[in-house]
Amino acid sequence: MENRIVGVYDNEIKGPLAIIIGGVHGNEKAGVKALDLLFKMLEVEPITNKQFKFSGRLVGIKGNLQALSVDQRYISEDLNRIFLREKIESALLQEHPVDEEAELIGIINEIDRQIEEYQPNEIFVLDLHTTTASGGIFTIVNDTPESIKLGLKLDATVIEGFIKDLHGTVLHYFNEENLNRPCVSLCFESGQHDDKLSVNRCIAASVNFLSAIECVEKFHIETIHEEILNNYANGLPKHCKLIYTYKIDKNENFRMKPGFKNFDRIRKNQILATNKDGCIKAPSDGIMIMPHYQEKGSDGFFLVKDVLGEKIPKKSFL
Ligand SMILES: [Zn+2]
C-alpha cells in the first residue's frame, strides 16, 4: 500500500502541530500534488534563505489512498461523510476493515501517532479539496470563532454554516472534543479538479495557513502561488453564510442544469435543476456553491449569502 504520509517537516523549534490533508476525495489530486511541492519548497528554503525559521511540525497526509489510485471520489462510501464516532468505533472493532473504513482508521491512527509523538499544545488541520464546477475558491470553516478568524487569513472567501448541513466530515471530527487539545480545522476548495492552477492555489492557501498559525514568519517562497490565488479570489465576497442545501434523493433522477459555476448570483424561483417530477427552483436569492456535475455524491447544490458585503481586494505583487 502507498505511503499515507507525504512528508513531515520539523526543525526542532517547538510550535503547533499543523496537519494538511489532500485527496480525501480520490478524484481531487490537486491537494496531494500541492503537498508534494510544498515539502520540496520547505527542503530548499533554508538553503536559499538563511533567515528562514519554522516553528512547530508540519505533517502532510494523503486521504483516500485506494480512491486516489483509481481516480474516483470514493470506493464504497464518501470518506468525508464518515468521520463519525460510531463509524470509527465499529471500524476499529473489525479485524480487517476495507475500503473507506480502512482509510478512516488509517488517517486517524496516523494523526494520533503524530499527536502522541509531538505532544503539541495546539493542533491546526487544513483539508484540501477541489470542485467539479469552476468559478470559485473558498474556505469552509467549522463555525468556531477561531476557525473563521483563521479562514479569513487564507485570502479566499470564507463560508460558514456547512457544518450544520453536512455530517461526518474531516471538519466535524478534528476538534478539541475528539483530540483532547485545542484544535482548529478548516477546509479549502481550490478550484476545478483538473485546473492545473488549483495546485498553485492549494500551495498558496497552505503557505497562508502556516503563516497565520505562526509556523513560519513572512515566507520568502515565491509569491507566484499567492498571486494566482489572489487573481482568482479578488472581487469575491469575503465572508458568506450557507442558507440552503439541496439534498439529492436516491431515486429522483437529479440533473443540474448545465453551465452553473461557483459564485453565480441566483434569483428566487430560477430553475436550477430537474428531477423526475419536473423543475427544481431556487427557494430564494443567493449565491451558487458546488453545483453537482458528477456521478457520485448526494448534495445537489448549496446557496450562500454574503454576510459582510465586503469583497476580497486585488493585491499587488511587485
Ligand atoms: Zn472534495
pLDDT tens per residue across span 72-112: 999 999 999 999 999 999 999 999 999 999 999 999 999 99
In this predicted model, what pLDDT tens digit does every residue of 200-237 receive, in sequence order?
A: 999 999 999 999 999 998 666 667 888 888 888 999 99
> What is the CA(316)–ligand 1 centre distance, in A?
30
> What is the CA(149)–ligand 1 centre distance, in A?
22
> What is the CA(200)–ligand 1 centre distance, in A?
17
Check residue 221 and give its pLDDT: 63
> What is the CA(187)–ligand 1 centre distance, in A?
9
Check residue 82 and give its pLDDT: 97
> What is the CA(131)–ligand 1 centre distance, in A?
7
> What is the CA(95)–ligand 1 centre distance, in A?
28
> What is the CA(288)–ligand 1 centre distance, in A?
17
> What is the CA(190)–ligand 1 centre distance, in A?
10
Q: Which domains does the chain have, with CATH numbers?
A: 5-233 (3.40.630.10), 240-306 (2.40.50.100)
> What is the CA(209)–ligand 1 centre distance, in A?
19
Say what the pTM is: 0.93
> What is the CA(42)–ligand 1 centre distance, in A?
25
> What is the CA(52)–ligand 1 centre distance, in A?
33
> What is the CA(48)–ligand 1 centre distance, in A?
35
> What is the CA(82)–ligand 1 centre distance, in A?
13
> What is the CA(295)–ligand 1 centre distance, in A?
13
Check residue 227 and give its pLDDT: 86
The ranges of the chain with pLDDT < 70 are: 1, 218-222
> What is the CA(49)–ligand 1 centre distance, in A?
35
The secondary structure of the chain, three-state, reads: CCCCEEEEEECCCCCCEEEEEECCCCCCCHHHHHHHHHHHHHHHHHHHCCCCCECCEEEEEECCHHHHHHCCCCCCCCHHHCCCHHHHHHHHHCCCCCHHHHHHHHHHHHHHHHHHHHCCCCEEEEEEEEECCCCCCEEEECCCHHHHHHHHCCCCEEEECHHHHCCCCHHHHCCHHHHCCCEEEEEEEEEECCCCHHHHHHHHHHHHHHHHCCCECCCCCCCHHHHHHHHHHCCCECEEEEEEEEECCCCCCCEECCCCCCCCEECCCCEEEEECCEEEECCCCEEEECCCCCCCCCEEEEEEEECCCCECCCCCCC
> What is the CA(14)–ligand 1 centre distance, in A?
32
> What is the CA(93)–ligand 1 centre distance, in A?
27
